Amino acid sequence: MIEFRDVGKRFADGTVGLESLSLTAREGEITVLVGPSGCGKTTSLRTVNRMVEPTSGSVHLAGQDVAEADPALLRRGIGYVIQQAGLFPHRRVIDNVATVPVLQGLPRREARARAAEVLERVGLDGAMAQRWPAQLSGGQQQRVGVARALAGDAPVLLMDEPFSAVDPVVRVELQDELLRLQADLGKTILFVTHDIDEAIRLGDRVAVLRVGGRLAQFAPPDELLAAPVDDFVSGFVGRDRGYRRLGFVPATALRLVDLPTRADENGSSGVPGEWTVLLDGAERPAAWLGPDGARHDLGSVYVTDGADAASDGAGTLRGALDAALSSPAGRGVAVDGAGRYRGGVDTDDVLALLDRGAP
């Protein structure tokens, strides 16, 4: 869908922003550009909507050279999300989101109706629509920015470090939201980040760029972690790449064990001398009850399947190992995609699978 053909960019002061970049961001996938500062990530992104004009090569969108398109019309057909959201401070949230539909010729009432639908889709309730941007938290502003990019119903989204300005907890929530939206909408997304963890989590394929705008490696996350092409890529993805790769290794052979359980009610007592899982009325784990009768946090839980598309490590060895190691009981709790209790995860069982050949 987006094809870079030997794209180069040299700025007036002689700085090389890009050097012969060639790659294809496939339709319906998230392609992530990642690398250190000065490697040309944002420059690459902006050549797609012609905010930067390449000095050599060409960029093609749906088979057409973007250099032949009218820049204003081109940009109206591409969703664009930036760091700090970039909202119009003098417009209420609903009108910020309705901006592109209005520019596309939709009557204001219809544009606002579409904006309201998209705000709900990104997880913002109707009360937010009449607020001013300054009245929103950073995470809420970024959600509005994503909603504005989606409101024009463009098949392509460009996202330039959209989550880097928010705190880590909100950042994970926004990543979850993007994965959920992508599962529903199937957009072609070109995403820029400097964070390799974010790149691996979000990307269907990841392009690692070197300083000077040269492509070092372009591969699915699993391949990038398993076989970095050189020392630069290996160093950039980190020494713990083996552990990260467990997030792509299915735990299909993992046997769940039985754990003592009790209903989570006032005065619930556990099994004497054992750790007991307290379950709520919907059979979801609520807490651990220790041998001394004290309540403890569950730690991470192991999601056995991918019904929840945003769950990290669903059905993988990394998810199972995280649950086992973070549990105060020494054994993790396993749930299905809806969060219902399914059994326990024994640390020794996970390690035995790793010993039998998991990378």
**Pair of tokens at residue 309:** 């598309």
Long-range Cβ contact pairs of 127-132 (< 8 A, separation 24 or more): 128/93, 129/92, 129/93, 129/94, 130/92, 130/93, 130/94, 131/92, 131/93, 132/89, 132/92, 132/93
Q: Which residue has the higher pLDDT, 247 or 219?
A: 219
Domain positions in the chain are: 2-237, 261-355
C-alpha distances out from residue 32 to 56, 185, 219, 336, Å: 22, 18, 10, 29
pLDDT of residue 226: 86
pLDDT of residue 357: 54
- Report the distance separating Cα 242 and Cα 21, nearest Å: 29
Average pLDDT, the chain: 87
Phi-psi region of 213 (alpha: psi -120 to 50; beta: other; left: phi over 0): left
Residue 123 has pLDDT above 60, yes or no: yes
Mean pLDDT of 7-32: 93
Give the Cβ contact number of residue 338 at 10 Å.
12
Phi-psi region of 357 (alpha: psi -120 to 50; beta: other; left: phi over 0): left
Residue 309 has pLDDT above 60, yes or no: no
Mean pLDDT of 95-102: 90
Q: At 234, phi and psi to the nearest 5?
A: -60, -45
pLDDT of residue 308: 39
Residue 169 half-sphere exposure, CB side, CA atoms within 13 Å? 0
pLDDT of residue 359: 45
pLDDT in tens, 26-64: 999 999 999 998 899 999 999 999 999 999 999 999 989
Q: At 131, phi and psi to the nearest 5?
A: -85, 160
- Report the distance separating Cα 250 and Cα 141, nearest Å: 36
pLDDT in tens, 324-343: 999 999 899 999 888 899 99
3-state secondary structure of 47: helix
Do the domains spanning 2-237 and 261-355 agree at the CATH topology level?
no
High-pLDDT (> 70) share of the chain, %: 95
pLDDT of residue 245: 82
3-state secondary structure of 140: helix
pLDDT in tens, 288-308: 999 888 889 988 899 887 543
Residue 74 identity: L
In angstroms, how far is CA 171 from the centroid of its own chain? 9
Which class does domain 261-355 fall in?
alpha beta
Residue 273 has pLDDT above 90, yes or no: no
**Cβ neighbours for 312, distance < 8 A, ≥ 6 positions apart:** 201, 247, 318, 319
Q: Per CATH, which fold does 2-237 belong to?
A: Rossmann fold (3.40.50)
Q: Where are the beta strands (DSSP E) in the chain?
A: 2-10, 16-25, 30-34, 56-61, 64-65, 78-82, 156-160, 188-193, 205-210, 214-219, 261-263, 276-279, 285-289, 295-296, 301-303, 331-335, 341-346
pLDDT of residue 310: 37
Q: For the ranges 82-96, 162-176, 298-312, 326-340, which has the lowest average pLDDT?
A: 298-312
